[in-house]
Amino acid sequence: MLPLIIGIVSGVSMALAARLIAFDRDRSYYPTVLIFIAAYYVFFAFMAGEGIVAEIIAASLFTAVAVIGAYTRLLWVGIGIVLHGVFDWVHPHIITNSGVPSWWPAFCAGIDIVLGAWVIRMAMTRSAAPATAAV
């Protein structure tokens, strides 16, 4: 239960920090976050030496959602982040990867569901800033 609570608090902190620091003004911020969180399981698989192909396939699907959402609607990115939270819960039952710490799925699900809900809310209320030009 504690990893889930810490994940939820971390997700709220990440969303508030992104807003206060203005990282979320750049439309690529949350798609990059989705790609990064999906890559963690690949890192764990490489450390354990098992489940690498399955983890790369899963991460590729989330990366595709991030890219599509970045170029179409940020709503897709929020949905992708929430779905990654669901993936965290079912991961131990569908992919064998002993490199994943036992506390990770609950922790990551807490972050993902909160952060994904935040992105969905931003997308639905149109408070997400338009893409910015490269500096």
- Say which residue, 39 or 135, is predicted with more confidence: 39
Residue 19 lies in a domain: yes
Residue 89 lies in a domain: yes
C-alpha dihedral, 20 to 21 to 24 to 29, nearest 10°: -140
List Cα–Cα distances, 92 to 2, 60, 101, 123, in angstroms.
18, 18, 11, 31
Number of domains into which the chain is organized: 1
Range of the domain at 28: 2-125
Residue 38 lies in a domain: yes
Tens-digit pLDDT profile for residues 64-82: 999 999 999 999 999 999 9
Query: In whole angstroms, what is the distance from residue 92 CA to residue 123 CA?
Result: 31
The pLDDT of residue 128 is 47
The pLDDT of residue 84 is 98
Residue 77 lies in a domain: yes
Tens-digit pLDDT profile for residues 7-63: 999 999 999 999 999 998 888 999 999 999 999 999 999 999 999 999 999 999 999
Residue 89 pLDDT more than 90? yes
